[in-house]
A and B are shown apart, each in its own frame.
Chain A
Amino acid sequence: MTITGIAAIGAGLAAIGAGVGIGKIGGSAMEAMARQPEMHGKIQSSALILAAFVEAVALFGVVVALLQG
């Protein structure tokens, strides 16, 4: 397997991690909104910010993979 192939696998793994993370955030946010509809706006904005944090970690992986591939 070439280094490019390994880099592609690494990018894929980073995507799996981000998928799990954002999925958990989205699921919990939905649940919280259903329980307390009046907090809808606040929950949504903090969920977005947390999603950006998780996404950033995945992007670190993608950038490392790009540098190698």
Chain B
Amino acid sequence: MYICTEFLETYIYNLQAMRINIFRTFLLGFFLLISLNGFAIIEDTKETEDKPFDAKEMIMHHVKDAHEFHIIDINNKPVSLPLPIILWTDNGLTTFMSSEFHHDDTGHTIVEKNGGKFVKLHEKIYQLNDGATAVAFDEEHHPKNAVKPLDFSITRNVFMMWVSVIVLLLIFLTAARSYKKSKDGVPTGIAGFVEPLIVFVRDDIARPMIGEKKYKRYMPYLLTIFFFIWINNIFGLIPILNGANLSGNIAFTMTLALFTFIITTLSGNKNYWKHIFWMPGVPVPMKIFLMPIEIIGIFTKPISLMIRLFANITAGHIIILALMSLIFIFKTIALAPVSVAFSLFITVIEIVVTAIQAYIFTILSALYFGMATEEEHH
């Protein structure tokens, strides 16, 4: 991505024309997303005769990580794409496909592999203790005679992350190649789509927040998180992938916030640390009073980044699914137009939120880098 920005430095043309282009592309994308969304969720929430519809369980199933891509139910039989399960047990590496559990998530199907017995319970893999033949539960419905082995499985979140990495690589390598080819530096194809975005990150995020002198060092990181968060937010809204809710996963957002924290801390100069430990320009008792607050402030900044992205994306998914569940809770088709209209409305808002959240994460990271590298002024 850095090579890419180097290319783009000098070529800023035709922004106006490009904006219309982007707008059109987006519009097309929006309608594709929206039309798929309604369809897939309705199929997913198809209730069975014997079991009352549980909105909370359905929503949580969608929001949480899973070991398979559940695509659709046909005649109450789930159709899904199995993903590999990779475990590290006492007997070494154990691998098998999640289809061996036959969609069982209650811990009844036992898979014997590599001298161990494994069950899947609420999308977690447990290994039964020696001699046990079935899972026994305590009062709080936790398994009594099973332990969790180290789980390195390719879950649907990991899978979606790889997909988004591949998509990003394809987009940016194609864009970089088109700059190499064109003689006059006019972007063609996908490069015309990414150039305004990169210029936007540079001119509206990095330059004003970090400053003219130092912003170049941070551009690769800022561009990477901007596009990575954005594309994962968008992938989270595509329903046929069952809303692989990657940016609504707190481990994912924590990792990104941790990168921002490490870069901020490592690039902090003398002036930055002085403002934390011995705030200039205030009386001594105030300096002592401010020190612990500023030290806590170092950690609350990345934590707020982590929770903001997680909460926004998860809440968006929950709202869309909850509106769809209304049809099944009230068991009437008369409510369907209202429910679909409202979830369409929220989906459109969510598509805006995907971009806004990526922008906010990036601009706040840039702000923190700017604070860390700010020179003393008299």
Q: Which residues of A contact B (CB under 8 A)?
A: 48-49, 52-53, 55-56, 59-60, 62-63, 66
Contact = CB atoms under 8 A, between A and B. Distances in A.
Interface stretch (B3-11, B176-184, B312-320, B335-343): B312-320
Nearest to A48: B356
Query: Chain B at the A interface: mostly helix, strand, loop or mixed?
Result: helix
Interface string B318-359: 100000000000000000000000000000000001001101
B173 interface: no
A52 B315 CA distance: 13
Contacts of B314: 63
23 contacts: A48-B356, A49-B356, A49-B359, A49-B360, A49-B363, A52-B312, A52-B353, A52-B356, A52-B360, A53-B360, A55-B312, A56-B311, A56-B312, A59-B312, A59-B315, A60-B311, A62-B315, A63-B307, A63-B310, A63-B311, A63-B314, A63-B315, A66-B318
Contacts of B357: 52
B308 interface: yes
A60 B314 CA distance: 11
Contacts of A63: 307, 310-311, 314-315
A59 B313 CA distance: 10
A49 B359 CA distance: 9
Given A52-B353, A66-B318, A59 B311 contact: yes
Contacts of A49: 356, 359-360, 363
Query: Chain A at the B interface: mostly helix, strand, loop or mixed?
Result: helix
B349 to A, nearest CB: 10
A55 B357 CA distance: 11
Nearest to B363: A49
A44 to B, nearest CB: 13
Contacts of A62: 311, 315
A62 B360 CA distance: 20
Given A48-B356, A52-B353, A63-B315, 16 more contacts: A49-B359, A49-B360, A52-B312, A52-B360, A53-B360, A56-B308, A56-B312, A59-B311, A59-B312, A59-B315, A60-B307, A60-B311, A63-B307, A63-B310, A63-B311, A66-B318
Nearest to B309: A56
Most buried by A among B310, B311, B360: B311
Interface string B229-241: 0000000000000
A60 to B, nearest CB: 6
Nearest to A64: B311
Interface in B261-313: 307-308, 310-312
Nearest to A56: B308
Contacts of A66: 318
A48 B308 CA distance: 16
Contacts of B359: 49
Nearest to B304: A56
A23 B199 CA distance: 32
A21 to B, nearest CB: 15
A49 B353 CA distance: 10
A36 B321 CA distance: 41
Contacts of B311: 56, 59-60, 62-63
